[in-house]
Amino acid sequence: MSKTTVFEGPIGVLGLGVCVPNRILSNADLEKMVDTTDEWIVTRTGIHERRILEDHQVPSDIAYQAAKRAIEESGVDPSEIGALIYCTYTPDHFMPPTACILQHKLGIGSGLCYDMNAACTGFIYGLQNAYAMIRSGMAKKVLVIGCDCASRIVDYTDRNTCILFGDGAGAMVIGEVPEGRGILGNMAGCDGAGAMLIYQKVGACAFPMTKQNIDTKDRYMQMNGREVFKFAVKIVTDAVEAALADAGLDVKDVDLLVPHQANVRIIQAAQERFNFAEEKTVITMDKYGNTSAASIPLALDDARKRGKLKVGTTCALVAFGAGLTYAASIVRW
């Protein structure tokens, strides 16, 4: 197939793989580090524990394992993969792109490789990029990896942020799938007016790291939790409805809601809006916390292990993140 040939068949998931670090950071551990309690954390977020990178690890270590598992499940030879999209806000380095490091380690073909930063929305943005590439004929198979290790940029004296985030990685091989399956509808957007509601001030070109600021809190993630919460409660349902409209489907056609795992109260608001039963909603933040770009694939993997995700299951994937970015995709497994 040449690059100018539009592919008209169904496009979907050929393989899924995930990886989380072995180290567990529990609420009891955080009680010893910051002014908080297990009850306070669980009541406000639904999180009991999260996974954290070991000091000797880098994010691409777990990203590699997740990608390797996805490729193995897909049955695709790595050399057949025409593009690699690495979704993250915690790359190994500002340059080179972590995608290029992973391309070499995985033995992937010499096609497009790039890092994408859409924060917690990253994986769905990456999934939609992969879909567009294959539909346009630029690639036949695309590897999408979502990996974030917020433990490297979180202030463990700030209870408003450190209780929320965990580290993890998830990956999918995207390509042609049998008729009746695949990605059925998409929507994506951004409200840049809220860009500074979640930010890391120091470290990039606007505020380079200096002797004066290297030990200040400006090098850590900052978040206006109240405003982000208000944005998320509305955008989650709006995004799902828009993606369903693109797919020509209705809420009643959704078998499984797979939301970004940021806060259990945001998910509960979506359940109420859609009148979704709890068993039709995937919640994994209790054991992983908010894993940012890895959140969606980790949730899908968990649902599959629990028997909730099977061939033919229609899923609504939805996420939001710094930017403020947001996106939703309707996928029939």
Same domain, 234 and 175: no
CATH, residue 209:
3.40.47.10
Determine whether 260 is an active site residue: yes
Sort strands 142-149 and 167-176 into parallel, antiparallel or unpaired.
antiparallel
How confident is the model over 124-155, as pLDDT tens digits?
999 999 999 999 999 999 999 999 999 999 99
Residue 164: domain span: 11-179
Q: Tell me, yes or no, whether 136 and 175 share the same domain.
A: yes
Q: Choose between 61 and 205: higher pLDDT.
A: 61
Tally of structural domains, the chain: 2
- Domain identity same for 171 and 197: no
> Confidence band (pLDDT; 50, 70, 90) for 216?
confident
Q: Is the pLDDT of residue 255 over 60?
A: yes
**Where is average pLDDT lowest: 130-134, 262-266, 306-310?**
262-266
Query: What rounded mean pLDDT belongs to the chain?
Result: 94
pTM of the model: 0.95
Given 27, 186, 260, 263, the catalytic residue: 260
Confidence of residue 276 (pLDDT cuts 50, 70, 90): confident
Indicate if 321 and 269 belong to the same structural domain: yes
**Do the domain assignments include residue 87?**
yes
pLDDT band of 4, cuts 50, 70, 90: low
144, 179, 214 - which closes a domain: 179
Position 294 in a domain: yes
Please name the amino acid found at residue 69. R
Residues 229 and 156 reside in one and the same domain: no
Where helices occur in 24-175 by DSSP H, the ranges are: 27-31, 38-45, 59-74, 98-106, 122-136, 159-162
Q: At what angle do helices 38-45 and 264-274 cross, to 10 degrees?
A: 30
From the list 27, 186, 263, 290, the catalytic residue is 290
Model pLDDT, residue 194: 94
State yes or no: pLDDT of 1 exceeds 80. no
Mark whether 117 is an active-site residue: no
Residue 5 maps to a domain: no
Q: Mean pLDDT, to the nearest integer, of 64-83?
A: 97
Greater confidence (124 vs 218) lies with 124
What local confidence, expressed as pLDDT, does residue 209 receive?
85
How many Cα neighbours within 13 Å face the side chain of 7?
22
Instruction: Please report the pLDDT score of residue 127 as a whole number.
Output: 98
Residues 147 and 209 in one domain: no
Report the pLDDT averaged over residues 33-57. 95
Condensed to tens digits (0 to 9), the pLDDT of residues 316-333 reads: 999 999 999 999 999 999
- Annotated catalytic residue 224: no
Residue 3 lies in a domain: no
Q: How confident is the model at residue 219 (pLDDT cuts 50, 70, 90)?
A: confident
CB 119 within 8 A of CB 292: yes
Asked whether residue 21 falls in the same domain as residue 93, the answer is: yes
Q: 19 and 150 in contact (C-beta within 8 Å)? A: no
**99 near 88, Cβ under 8 Å?**
no
Check whether 13 has a pLDDT greater than 70. Answer: yes
Higher pLDDT, 259 or 202: 259
Q: Among the options 120, 149, 162, 315, which is catalytic?
A: 120
